[in-house]
Structure 1
C-alpha cells in the first residue's frame, strides 16, 4: 500500500508515555499565566478528565492548551480538529507532495497553527501530558511528509503564521521566524539593500525552520557556504516549554540544530543570520545541450572544472528527458544553469579560458539584480515581479519521490552514456540536478556543523520523479522508477557510506521505530549517510536536551538508551 514503507517503521512503536524530567537548562523566558478568572474552571476540567478519555482532544487536550496559553493570544483562534470545517484546508495548504494528502494518509488529532510562542509551549506541554506525538511543520517541503504524517496519535504544530523578519543592514544581520519562507526573507533583505543577500535555496517556498536546520544550500554555496554556515543565533523551544537562545542552550545544542535537523531537539522559533555581500548586478544563464550535439562531452568536462572554478561562479547541470527531433523519439537535454557574482563582460573571458566546451556567448547571459536572480532560479516566467516571492503555494500540484547522492570522482563518458540510456527508458517524468561543490564548501571542516558533505565532493545529485496519476499502483510504479535510476548510479557515487542529504529526506535509506529499544541501532543506518562521523555527537546532544525522546520521527536523532 501507499504507506507500507512508513508503517514498517512503526510495527513495534508505542505512544510515548515516558516520565517527566526537568531540564537542567536555565529558563530565560517564562510562559504567560492564564487569567486568574479562568483558572478555577480550567482546573476543574483538567482534574476531572483523563488523557485516556475516549475524546482526549476536546475533553483534555484543549483545556490543557488553554490553561497554559496566554489569554492575550487565545488558543481557540489557532486550534483545529477534524470537526472544524476548515481542518482539511489548513492541513492540505502546507502539504507539498500529493502522496501525503490522500484519503489513506493518517490525519492528526488536531492542528495548532501557532501565532504566539505560548501556543508552542502549551502544545509541547499538553501533548507530552496526553501522550500525543508532535509533528512540526514550517514550509511543508518535507519530501516524506514526516512533518505532518505519523502512524501514532499525533498533533501538527504549524509554524507558518510565525513569519516575522527583522533586517539590520548596519550590522548585516537579520532575525527570521521559522514560518517565514526564504522568498519572504529574500524580499525583505532587498527592501533594505540591493547589495546584500543570504545563501539559501532556490525554491522560494521553503520554510526557514526546516530548510536551515537541515543545512540549506543554493547557488551562493560555493562563495559563502550553506545557510547553517551563516547562522549566528537561534531561539529553540525545548520539551518543557523553555525558550533557549544560543547562550542558554550552549554550543553543543547550537551546533546540533544547524544541520542536524531541528525537529529532533525541539521547535525552532527563529534564526539570527549573517547577511552576505553581493554586487549590484549579477549574471545568470541557461545554456542547453542535447545528446545530438555532444552534451556528453560537455557534461564530462563540467565534472572536471565546475568545482574548481572561482567561488563567484555556480553552474548547475540539469539532465532531463525531452522529445527528440524525430517523432516518437526521446533524448536527454542538459541545461547548464549558471549564476555569476559579477557582470557578463567579466564572465565570458573567464569561461572561454576555463570552460570553453560550454560555448557560452554574450547573448546567453542576462544581467540583473541579485533579488531578480532569485526569480530566475525559482523558474518563474520571464518578467515576473519580485512580488511573487511573497506568494505562498495553496496546494500540492503533483505526486513525487526524491533522493540524493554525492559524487567524488568524475563519471566516465561510458558511464554517462549508460545513465542517459536509463533516463530515456524511464521517460520524461524524472530528472536529476547536479550541483557543483568546491570553493567555500571545501574549506569548512566536516565537524564544524552536523552537515558533513564538504571537501572531496565534486557535486551533489538531486533525483526527482513526479506524476499526476492517483492511486497506489501509480505511486509504486514511479517510486520504483526513481529507485531504478538511483541504483543505476551506484557505481559512480560515494561509498561506505553512500552519503545522502537530510533536506532531501528519503526513507529508503533507513528508518527507525520511535520509542523502540532498537531505535539507536536503526538510526545508525541512516545517520551515517546523513551525518557520517557527526552522528555520534548528535546522539550525545539529543541525550542531554531530550533524553525521553519526545521529539521523534522515522529519521530523527535518538538519545542513548535507556530513555523510557
Structure 2
C-alpha cells in the first residue's frame, strides 16, 4: 500500500506542493481578534504579540536571526510575531493562523542556515519559542524535560549544576535552540559514544494542526518517530522534549593539533580517514580544513585536528600512539577539564572562564554565512586530496569540517529514526563560508565559491542520492515552493533516503492539508489543498 501510494505521489510531479494563500495584511485584524478570543485570562496572549506598529517588533525579529543574509530590507517580514509565553499561546497561534489562511514559521533559536524558521514568500506569522525555555533535570532517574526555546548552553549548564558525571549528546554551539536542533537529528562530540540527540529522546510534547497538545502516547509511535530527525516543523510545534541523560567521566581531555601541508598534513589526513571512524568510541576527532597564507608566501592548507576524549590524558595518548601515530599527539597538547568546560574549549574560550558564559543566548558576533554538507563512504586517496587542496587554495574563502562517524552511529539502524546516515559512512562534511561584508554581489560571490568547492568534491562523496544533513539546511538541493514535487523528491531523498516515504505517509495522516509547510518541508500525498 505504501509503495503504490508513494508511486502516486511521484506521478503527480507537476502539481505545486503548497497552498497559494489569499491572506494578506487585511487578515491581521481578524487573526489578532482570534488570538484574543482564544486567550486564557490567567495567561493573556496580548503580552506575547508584536506587530510592525510595535516599537519592539524589529528588535524581537532581529534578536534571533543568526544569518545576516536574512536581515536585508528586501527580506520578507512577518505580519505578526507571537513570542509565546505559555503553551496556550502556541495552541491559539496554530488555530488562528489555520483559520485565517496565514502561514506560520516556527523559531526556537534562529539557527536555520537558510532562514526558513523566520522568512517566507507568502503572508506569514513567526511563532517564536524563545520564552519557552524551562529545563527540569531529574538526576535520580537520569532524565530531563527541556522546552523547545531552551539553548544547548542552558541545557549543559543546567546538567552541570546538578552533576559532574552526566551530559547529553548534542551540538557544540551553545546558542542553538533545542527545538530545531533536536528535530533535525542533533549531533555533537559524543555521537560516536551515544549517537545523536534524537537517539536519546524518550518523550515529547507537540501542538498538532488542530491545536491539541500531544505526548508520545497520544501522538502515537509514527508521529513520535517522525519528529525525531524528520523536521518537526512539517508536523506540528514541539513544546518540549524528554531526554535521557548520559554518563560522562569527571575528567575529560581535549586537544587541538594543527599542521600545514609543509608539516605533513596530507599524510596525517590520509591516516585520519582510515582510523577516525574506527577509534575507541570515547574519542571524537574533528578535522578542520582551511586555506591560509604560507610562511614563505602563497597559500597552503591548514589541517586542524580538534578532539574530545571521554577520559584522561594517559589513556588518550596510549590510544593515539597505537591507532593514529602520524598525528604525533603529545602530552603538552592535551588539556584535562570537566565535560561542561569542553564546550568552552571548542569556541576558543580560555580555560578557567566561568561556565555561566554558556547562558549567553546571543552569539559573540553575527555574520553572513552559507553551509552545505556531504557524506563520505570510503577514504579519499592522496591524489584526490591534492585535487581538493588545489581547489581550496584557489577558492580561498570556503573551509570544511570533517566529522567522524563509526562507534554507536554504525550500530543504530538507518530506519530507527528519520535520520538515515548511519553505518557505511566514515565521515560527514560541512562546507562553511563566513563573511562580514554587506551587498548582494558579495553574497553571490560567496555562495558561488561554496557551490564550486561542493562541485569539486563530487567524485569523493556519496551518490544516488548525494546525502545531506537536515541540520545543515541547504536550499540549493531543492525548494518545493519553486520546484514542486520534483524538488521535494530530491531533498527528501538526500536528507532522509528511504525514510522519506514513511515521513510522507505520516505527514498525510497528521496534516493532510499541508498547513505546516516551508520550502523544504515533508509533503503530503494527494489530495490536498492547493
Q: Which residue of 1 aligns with 2:405?
A: 437
Q: Which residue of 2 aligns with 1:481?
A: 449
Distance 1:438 1:74 in 2: 49
1:286 aligns with 2:256: yes
Distance 2:351 2:456 in 1: 35
Instruction: Verify the 8 A CA contact 2:21 2:102 in the aligned structure 1.
Output: yes
Q: Which residue of 2 aligns with 1:539?
A: 504
- 1:324 Cα shift? 1.4
Distance 1:520 1:128 in 2: 23
Residues 466, 262 of structure 1: alpha-carbon distance in 2 compared, 3 angstrom cutoff: same
Instruction: Verify the 8 A CA contact 1:450 1:535 in the aligned structure 2.
Output: yes
Instruction: Verify the 8 A CA contact 1:213 1:260 in the aligned structure 2.
Output: yes
Q: Which residue of 1 aligns with 2:219?
A: 249
Distance 1:461 1:11 in 2: 32
Distance 2:175 2:149 in 1: 10
Secondary structure at the residue paired with 1:513? Answer: helix
Residues 391, 90 of structure 1: alpha-carbon distance in 2 compared, 3 angstrom cutoff: same
- 1:394 Cα shift? 6.2
Q: Which residue of 2 aligns with 1:123?
A: 93
Q: Which residue of 2 aligns with 1:530?
A: 495
Q: Which residue of 1 aligns with 2:270?
A: 300
Residues 107, 10 of structure 1: alpha-carbon distance in 2 compared, 3 angstrom cutoff: farther
Distance 2:103 2:308 in 1: 42
Q: Which residue of 1 aligns with 2:463?
A: 495
**Cα deviations across residues 160-197 of structure 1 (Å, max 9, x unaligned)?**
11000000000000000000001100000000000000
- 1:11 Cα shift? 9.1
Q: Which residue of 2 aligns with 1:190?
A: 160
Instruction: Verify the 8 A CA contact 2:21 2:122 in the aligned structure 1.
Output: no
Residues 288, 395 of structure 1: alpha-carbon distance in 2 compared, 3 angstrom cutoff: closer
Match of 1:549 among 514, 521, 525: 514
Q: Which residue of 2 aligns with 1:471?
A: 439
Q: Which residue of 1 aligns with 2:372?
A: 403
> 4+ runs of 1 displaced by more than 4 Å?
9-14
Match of 2:170 among 187, 197, 200: 200
Q: Which residue of 1 aligns with 2:20?
A: 15
Q: Which residue of 2 aligns with 1:142?
A: 112
- 1:519 Cα shift? 3.9
- 1:14 Cα shift? 4.4
Q: Which residue of 2 aligns with 1:453?
A: 421
- 1:349 Cα shift? 1.3
- 1:551 Cα shift? 0.1
1:72 aligns with 2:37: no
Instruction: Verify the 8 A CA contact 1:15 1:131 in the aligned structure 2.
Output: no
Q: Which residue of 1 aligns with 2:328?
A: 359
Instruction: Verify the 8 A CA contact 1:136 1:148 in the aligned structure 2.
Output: yes
**Cα deviations across residues 264-286 of structure 1 (Å, max 9, x unaligned)?**
00000000000000100000000
**Cα deviations across residues 307-364 of structure 1 (Å, max 9, x unaligned)?**
000110100010112221024x221111100111100011101111111000000000
1:509 aligns with 2:477: yes
In structure 2, runs of 5+ residues without a counterpart are: 1-13
- Give 1:167-246 correspondences, 5 Å limit: 167-246=137-216
**Cα deviations across residues 463-485 of structure 1 (Å, max 9, x unaligned)?**
01011111111111000000000
- 1:55 Cα shift? 3.3
Instruction: Verify the 8 A CA contact 2:15 2:485 in the aligned structure 1.
Output: no
Distance 2:119 2:311 in 1: 44
1:562 aligns with 2:530: no
Instruction: Verify the 8 A CA contact 1:10 1:513 in the aligned structure 2.
Output: no
- 1:426 Cα shift? 1.4
Q: Which residue of 2 aligns with 1:34?
A: none
Q: Which residue of 1 aligns with 2:27?
A: 56
In structure 1, runs of 5+ residues without a counterpart are: 1-8, 18-50
Distance 2:19 2:140 in 1: 51
Secondary structure at the residue paired with 2:170? Answer: coil
Instruction: Verify the 8 A CA contact 1:520 1:559 in the aligned structure 2.
Output: no
Residues 12, 249 of structure 1: alpha-carbon distance in 2 compared, 3 angstrom cutoff: closer
Distance 2:449 2:15 in 1: 26
Secondary structure at the residue paired with 2:487? Answer: helix
- Give 1:368-379 correspondences, 5 Å limit: 368-379=337-348
* TM-score, with structure 1 as normaliser: 0.89
- 1:16 Cα shift? 4.5
Instruction: Verify the 8 A CA contact 2:21 2:123 in the aligned structure 1.
Output: no
